[in-house]
Protein backbone atom coordinates (compact mmCIF):
# COMPACT_ATOMS: atom_id res chain seq x y z
CA UNK A 1 0.00 0.00 0.00
CA UNK A 2 1.35 3.36 -1.07
CA UNK A 3 -0.44 6.66 -0.72
CA UNK A 4 0.69 9.96 -2.12
CA UNK A 5 -0.56 13.51 -2.36
CA UNK A 6 -1.54 14.90 -5.75
CA UNK A 7 -0.77 18.46 -4.65
CA UNK A 8 2.46 18.30 -2.67
CA UNK A 9 5.27 15.83 -2.14
CA UNK A 10 3.66 14.03 0.79
CA UNK A 11 3.71 10.25 0.67
CA UNK A 12 3.51 7.28 2.98
CA UNK A 13 4.05 3.62 2.28
CA UNK A 14 3.91 0.29 4.05
CA UNK A 15 7.51 -0.13 2.88
CA UNK A 16 8.37 2.61 5.42
CA UNK A 17 7.37 0.21 8.18
CA UNK A 18 3.76 1.33 8.65
CA UNK A 19 0.84 -1.06 8.72
CA UNK A 20 -1.90 -0.59 6.11
CA UNK A 21 -4.17 0.82 8.80
CA UNK A 22 -1.52 3.39 9.75
CA UNK A 23 -1.00 4.37 6.12
CA UNK A 24 -4.73 4.91 5.66
CA UNK A 25 -4.96 6.89 8.89
CA UNK A 26 -2.08 9.17 7.94
CA UNK A 27 -3.57 9.75 4.49
CA UNK A 28 -6.86 10.81 6.07
CA UNK A 29 -5.02 13.08 8.49
CA UNK A 30 -3.11 14.72 5.62
CA UNK A 31 -6.38 15.33 3.80
CA UNK A 32 -8.06 16.74 6.91
CA UNK A 33 -5.12 19.01 7.73
CA UNK A 34 -4.41 20.31 4.22
CA UNK A 35 -7.48 19.60 2.07
CA UNK A 36 -5.15 17.97 -0.46
CA UNK A 37 -6.34 15.05 -2.57
CA UNK A 38 -4.50 11.86 -1.68
CA UNK A 39 -4.37 9.01 -4.15
CA UNK A 40 -3.41 5.46 -3.36
CA UNK A 41 -1.65 2.75 -5.21
CA UNK A 42 -1.47 -0.92 -4.45
CA UNK A 43 2.04 -2.15 -4.89
CA UNK A 44 2.23 -4.72 -7.66
CA UNK A 45 2.98 -8.31 -6.73
CA UNK A 46 6.72 -8.91 -6.49
CA UNK A 47 6.72 -11.29 -9.39
CA UNK A 48 4.38 -12.01 -12.27
CA UNK A 49 5.00 -15.20 -14.16
CA UNK A 50 3.68 -15.77 -17.63
CA UNK A 51 3.60 -19.23 -19.13
- Which residues make up the interface to Zn ion (CB under 5 A)? 5, 7-8, 10, 34, 36
Q: Under 8 Å CB-to-CB from 31, ≥6 apart: which residues?
A: 37, 38
Minimum distance from residue 28 beta carbon to Zn ion (Å): 12
* Choice between 41 and 48, CB closer to Zn ion: 41
Our CB check for Zn ion shows the closer of 13 and 48 to be 13
User: What is the spatial distance between Cα 39 and Cα 23, in angstroms, rounded to a whole number?
Assistant: 12
CA 48 to chain centre: 22
Please state the closest distance from residue 50 (CB atom) to Zn ion, in A.
37
Amino acid sequence: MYKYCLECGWQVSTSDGYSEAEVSKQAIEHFVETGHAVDSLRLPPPEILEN
